[in-house]
Structure 1
């Protein structure tokens, strides 16, 4: 019987050579799958990579979602592993186990494993695809997912148009998840499958606060029916004001919010009220 085919897309700017080397070493050690490993150099010419790794150079930084779109188009496999360049797989059957979960149900579009920090540091809230971040060991269907390491069914990914490339950074996974759910696909969290990733704050990125706000508005304007679109944004304004105490950072966030309302978010295809009800039943109504 032929092995399942997996395209592994690794996006890198070449700034973490040690981490990238470990990411690729543990990826190439995977068993039970037929791998096509592609490193997309985002404003970086990939060099010095091991045998078995294909490369593609983009002269400009396309951002995370569009860089991943490029990798998906240039790679081959029924499933696509999107894989951060500072992540690594602790066991040689990690990927095969993710594929086994995916193949257990033809309606699954995404399988997210459980990320853990290799040094034992507590993980950020965004690693757990539930409102209650304490439930890291509870698996099952979700309405969001962590983008850092996850497996996607190519047919589902292509059906809904892939990542929103113009987002550049932030909330592209929420946008993709809403479109997948509205198309009838499932997303599952498999905490029994562990991957490693350093626990780092998303706010370390210079563009974090502006794009966090802008893209939050774009998600609403693109995907949510009225009046949920403005309610979603209003609730996140309240959450952000409560969480962010740095006045300068908050000012940048509100500038991003204004940008989100005054710029083109891309095509609008509101999810159905049936999808709204499904998301609510799964514990995360699309107003938060």
Structure 2
């Protein structure tokens, strides 16, 4: 199908989308399901009438994301790959459940996840990722390289340079790395299901959990040369600090209720220590603040302060709730 026709069909289909309740989709392969009722909806669109080789899954809160999703759909319509389907899951508060819903409906051999604010500047992204997976059966997850776009604002540019894992120099060869992430990564659908899919119980830490599940099954996690995407932090202090406060609160929740799934997230490629005890991570926190202060990384410093505040907020409210229940 010609790109212009595919793009037109995709835009028309999305504007007139018929959304199916997430609750109607069974997910029998999920190892850690969240059984709370979901108010989410799901929409599926096939790019053409041929065999489907790739299923693209996008979880989103509102099917808009300030215009980012519509831009992403346009970029998807321009991909040089034929034979793929698009599955958008809207309004599910659990990202893991949303992705599992998409995987349950997926008909493709490969499963590609994108965030609703991901940007794909290269029309060869899908075909390059599939080519890597077809040539290397021991690769379980292959991700792209998140780089700073040329039109990024001064604030976004600084945030992506200072905050670990927000951007990196693109790899020149297939590289084992923990930096493959949901904003742009591909898996085999059957293998994704065989390891139990996404963890639906944890509100934060989906990426490290899934990567480790694939490693435990004997697969490699890699970054791919020539695959670029843009996934930006919020453009402004208010939204960025709100995000870090929320992340800190959710991380504390995971430490409190699911410590077995708290996994390190290194900012460099290669092997790393999988887990560190809580006391080490607590002691590491002020050292990170001092390092950010010494290097003049003010965005990272203030973001970490709000992350710590979110974590502290959770522990204080948790202790108060325990005292109330005991009283």
Q: TM-score, normalised by structure 1?
A: 0.69
Q: After the TM superposition, which of the residue ranges 241-250 and 6-15 deviates more from structure 2?
A: 241-250
Provide the residue aligned with 1:210 in structure 2.
249
Q: For residue 183 of structure 1, report the CA deviation from its aligned partner.
A: 0.8
Q: For residue 231 of structure 1, report the CA deviation from its aligned partner.
A: 3.4
Task: Kindly indicate which of the two structures has a greater share of residues assigned to helix.
Answer: 2
Q: Does the aligned pair in 1 maintain the 2:171–2:223 contact within 8 Å? A: no
Q: Does the aligned pair in 1 maintain the 2:140–2:187 contact within 8 Å? A: yes
Structure 2 vs 1, CA of residues 203 and 190 (structure 1 numbering), >3 Å: closer, same or farther? farther
Provide the residue aligned with 2:206 in structure 1.
172
Q: Residue 83 of structure 1 is aligned with which of 91, 105, 114?
A: 114
Name structure 2 gaps, 5 residues minimum. Answer: 1-49, 264-272, 290-300, 319-327
Q: Distance in 1 between matches of 2:221 and 2:194?
A: 15
Q: Does the aligned pair in 1 maintain the 2:241–2:306 contact within 8 Å? A: no
Name structure 1 gaps, 5 residues minimum. Answer: 43-60, 261-288
Could you report, residue by residue, the CA deviation over 1:50-84 in whole angstroms, capped at 9, with x for unpaired residues? xxxxxxxxxxx332222111121122211111111
RMSD, aligned CA: 3.1
Provide the residue aligned with 1:18 in structure 2.
67
SS, match of residue 91 in structure 1: coil
Structure 2 vs 1, CA of residues 255 and 183 (structure 1 numbering), >3 Å: closer, same or farther? farther
Q: Does the aligned pair in 1 maintain the 2:59–2:95 contact within 8 Å? A: yes
SS, match of residue 30 in structure 1: coil
Q: Residue 233 of structure 1 is aligned with which of 275, 278, 284?
A: 278
Q: Does the aligned pair in 2 maintain the 1:203–1:209 contact within 8 Å? A: no
Q: Does the aligned pair in 2 maintain the 1:7–1:78 contact within 8 Å? A: yes
Q: Does the aligned pair in 2 maintain the 1:241–1:250 contact within 8 Å? A: no
In the TM superposition, structure 1's runs of 4+ consecutive aligned residues that sit over 6 Å from their partners are 245-248, 257-260
Q: Does the aligned pair in 1 maintain the 2:57–2:89 contact within 8 Å? A: yes
Q: Does the aligned pair in 2 maintain the 1:80–1:153 contact within 8 Å? A: yes
Could you report, residue by residue, the CA deviation over 1:65-107 in whole angstroms, capped at 9, with x for unpaired residues? 2211112112221111111111121122111011111111111
Q: For residue 232 of structure 1, report the CA deviation from its aligned partner.
A: 3.6
Q: Distance in 2 between matches of 1:143 and 1:217?
A: 24
Structure 2 vs 1, CA of residues 207 and 152 (structure 1 numbering), >3 Å: closer, same or farther? same
Q: For residue 216 of structure 1, report the CA deviation from its aligned partner.
A: 5.1
Could you report, residue by residue, the CA deviation over 1:94-149 in whole angstroms, capped at 9, with x for unpaired residues? 11011111111111111110112322525342246xxxx6x543551124522211
Q: Distance in 2 between matches of 1:104 and 1:258?
A: 51
Structure 2 vs 1, CA of residues 73 and 115 (structure 1 numbering), >3 Å: closer, same or farther? same
Q: Distance in 1 between matches of 2:166 and 2:82?
A: 25
